[in-house]
A and B are shown apart, each in its own frame.
Chain A
């Protein structure tokens, strides 16, 4: 337990928060977009599990652009 307390949460927290915001932005976009390349549920999983990279990959290749 001592190790957990040793983690400098005050410094790490903003990092986690920004990741969370990015994930939420990706999920909001996913819910509003008309069509994606591939099934939507798959992208939802990629965004949630894939963290930073998942969101980036969704925005670059997941969105169907026209």
Chain B
């Protein structure tokens, strides 16, 4: 346990001194506020930017608070995920490649403590970022579009946080299993590729690993289909455990590939 604390302390120090724990939440806040503001002022902005042709009339759909939170989620799902994956995909592999891991691995460390410290700190940064991003989005959404039910919002947030912890488990596990470049490629294909795949043909599937974000959003409105919510939640939890176990195993197996 004390060893886990030492490794955890090291990771926390690293994310503080490299400003990770500061700049990533700031990026998520920016992503979170951009949609409520841009959508609200879209007409004004269009008018200010260019002359509209005579008689041009744009029909703006009436947006609900849930639609705006969904749009912010879309931002987190693209730029947000790429930032998080790019930041943490080297967390184990880079230490092996640049040789800093060598002096850790020659000590009697547990690879479980090592992996968990890496994953938990990645989760901490990701969770703070997502909460900050949604809080910012929510603030402007309530201000400009109307109230959101608290219990629904919390349910949505909690579900999305499970998703983000799953993504971090995949990212860190890939980092444990491969070199940084390969790990990054595989994680992007699995997560971003999967998300695109889901958006294209997801409506034909009742459960899939990439359904969790839409499951989360379904909690915000009574119009969405919620039938497979529990099933998707269980699938993601199972995958989360799978990737943690895989990551620990890969940490152990690849310890000898560290640069001496």
> Do A and B touch, yes or no (CB under 8 Å, in the complex)?
yes
Partner of A56, one of B27, B33, B100: B27
Q: How far is the CB of A8 from chain B (nearest CB, A)?
A: 7
Q: A1 vs B177: C-alpha distance in the bound complex, in angstroms?
A: 59
Interface of B is mostly: helix
Q: How far is the CB of A16 from chain B (nearest CB, A)?
A: 10
Count residues of B near A (Cβ-Cβ below 8 Å): 23
Whether B204 sits at the interface, judged by CB under 8 Å, is no
Whether B22 sits at the interface, judged by CB under 8 Å, is yes
Whether A15 sits at the interface, judged by CB under 8 Å, is yes
Count residues of A near B (Cβ-Cβ below 8 Å): 24
Q: Which 7 pairs from chain A and chain B are nearest by CB? A: A22-B26, A60-B86, A66-B98, A29-B19, A25-B23, A3-B48, A59-B23
- B residues with a Cβ closer than 8 A to A are 18-20, 22-23, 26-27, 29-30, 33-34, 37, 41, 44, 48, 83, 86-87, 90, 94, 98, 100, 140
- A residues with a Cβ closer than 8 A to B are 3, 6-8, 11-12, 14-15, 18-19, 21-22, 25-26, 28-29, 52, 55-56, 59-60, 63, 65-66
